[in-house]
Amino acid sequence: MSAVIKDPAHQDQKTLVSLCNLNKHYGDFAAVDNISLDIQDGEFLTFLGSSGSGKSTTLSMLAGFETPSSGEILVSGKSLVN
């Protein structure tokens, strides 16, 4: 389950971080499976989920500690993957 609450006051905010079709596989195990999201200027984001759901792996890829198996990470429009 997920919830997205849009504040009309932030409609014109620019995207600071984008995860586009992000995947991380360890052999046959999919630690992160096709995550896509945009984080706008001024937004606060929290990852919630059960153990093994990919929260830490996603944050590790965003921080540059892990390399995605596929997909794109953009920060201010610049790729962190390539």
The predicted model gives 42-52 an average pLDDT of: 93
Q: Is the confidence at residue 49, as pLDDT, over 60?
A: yes
- Provide, rounded to the nearest whole percent, the portion of the chain with pLDDT above 70: 85
Which of 61, 57, 60, 63 is closest to 72 using CA atoms? Answer: 61
What does 24-74 look like in DSSP terms, one character per residue?
A: EEETTEEEEEEEEEEEETT--------TTSSHHHHHHHHHTSS--SEEEEE
CATH number belonging to the domain at 14-79, selected among 1.10.150.80, 3.30.70.1450, 3.40.50.300, 3.50.50.60: 3.40.50.300
pLDDT, tens only, 8-43: 665 668 999 999 999 999 999 999 999 999 999 999
The predicted model gives 47-52 an average pLDDT of: 94
Would you list the domain boundaries of the chain? Answer: 14-79
